[in-house]
Amino acid sequence: MTKKSNPVVYFEIPVNDMDRAIKFYTAVFHFEFEKEIIDGNEMALFPFTEGSSGISGALAKGEIYKPTIDGIVIYFKTESIDETINLALANGGQILYPKTDNGIGFVAEFEDTEGNRIALFQSLN
């Protein structure tokens, strides 16, 4: 019998300007990235800690990657949506959906410097 797990294991956020995107995500979330070339595409890998909950992914630049606010929405967990939104705005992002209480926490969405819709989640606890 196969062990069941959460279905999503990895994500890629399309970017047009890798240095600009790294600068934005580092300023907003304090992430450190590891750069790699994978299948001829430029990647900046988000941090990943083995054994921790959640998934990781990469900023991805290449011919097949096209930023959009109309596609899949990825939620980043944050301790403070207000602080994260302020950092996003200060670094070139734009609010798409203001901080809202959804009953289990707070959510919000912003557009990053590349033109992607990015969502935030802050637990009530």
Average pLDDT over residues 91-102: 98
CB distance 25 to 45 below 8 Å: no
Residue pLDDT, tens place only, 101-125: 999 999 999 999 999 999 999 998 7
Residue 1 reports pLDDT greater than 70: no
> What domains can be seen in the chain, in order of their start residue?
10-123 (3.10.180.10)
The whole-number pLDDT of residue 6 equals: 78
- pLDDT bracket for residue 50 (50, 70, 90): confident
Residue 45 forms beta bridges with which residues?
Answer: 34, 58
- Half-sphere exposure of residue 110, counting CA atoms within 13 Å on the CB side? 25
- pLDDT bracket for residue 54 (50, 70, 90): confident
The phi-psi region of residue 79 (left if phi > 0; otherwise alpha if psi is between -120 and 50; otherwise beta) is: alpha
- pLDDT bracket for residue 52 (50, 70, 90): confident
